[in-house]
Structure 1
Amino acid sequence: MDFELFKAWFTLENMMELIQRYRSFGPVPGILLPMLEAFLPFLPLFIFVMANASAFGLWLGFLYSWVGSCTGALLLFLLIRKYGRKRAFSFILKHPKIRKLMDWVDDHGFGPLFLLLCFPFTPSVVVNIVAGLSKINIYQYMLAVSIGKMVMIFTISFIGYDLHSLITQPYRTAFVFLVIFILWYVGKRIEVRLNKRVEKGDNVEKESEMELKKGRSLHED
């Protein structure tokens, strides 16, 4: 199957139909879909959460999405923490931006992880991998994941709970799109700041190396 066609299949209507088809399995489909997204970042978490809220109701849908997403994040974190420094993942460790993000997480801990995970447009798989490679305490990590995803998933669940009113009540639709835009914008600003910090760290490191080389040259002369 073509990959683009595969991605296009993950629509809200298809996910709601899938959940209804396997409703006899109870909460399993609602938990499993967000859990898979932690390992396959091209899957639309936003759609999964909205489908759960529509199929199971606001609170149960939120709970299933939250449990699944947090469980997937923890499993990925533990896998990276255990095997991330093996030879098979050495290319990740050698990437300069990954190294800088790891150092940044080591220095700041809970705060940046919590903020990043509050926003649905943050690539959570990158955050989980970096956290797994860093030295952050697992309890700090799980606290950041559980609270950050709670904020993000409840916001999306609230949007997906009553889609009919989004169509019949234009002011609510406008409010929802405003919230989505704010989440997207803040997430992008955090991403930009992270990139600037990484680039600044790269520049400082290069300047230090140049100063060191210059000092060696003067010493040799």
Structure 2
Amino acid sequence: MPATRFLPVAAFAATVALLAGCGSLPDRPSRAMLYDFGPVLTARAPTPADAAPRPTLSLAEIDASTRLEGTQILYRLAYADANELRPYGQSRWSVAPNQLLYQRLRDALAERRTVLSREESATMARTAGRVPRTLRVSLDEFSHYFASPTQSAGLVRLRATLVQSAPGGDSVVAQRSFMVQRPAPSADAPGGVRALTLASDAVIAELVAWVDQQP
């Protein structure tokens, strides 16, 4: 019997096998959920102290460790290994945490004073001969911190330095470290995002109040 008579049958069998194989392929990976701090829905109530003019401030970009420069949402299992930072698989920040904090901090400071970027401050120094103080912030911790499998919080730790520039060099006016925790409503990425947002707003409020207290 000629071999050519078996070709249609072989082709049919190959097609069935191909279709069966397609059915067994894994689903396409789901798109990562993107998070930010959300909008500020309530304005701070003005106080009598707000009527007093406050000096212009230069705000430097917030420094962060290499691990915190990415967009991963990180958590720590302190009850297992507090030294290990782990990422949530399908959840990310829309931009790096230090960038989210920078915008939130700038908006909060701008309620009381003019806030310049480093480039704008340099322009003022060249054109007006005045150099405003510079606020430098270093982000040291930004994680969903699990004290136990059922108890977790958003943990933010940063260091702020207020610097005065002069022709002879920079001098430190004041420096302080801040740490804030806020409980997470759930032991997952959305719960961590909510807790870290609340902790960020709280630490920014403390930082702004500290800057306002400097003579």
Q: Which of the two has greater helix per residue?
A: 1
- State which structure, 1 or 2, has the greater radius of gyration over its C-alpha atoms: 2
Q: Which of the two has greater strand per residue?
A: 2
Q: Is TM (by shorter chain) over 0.5?
A: no
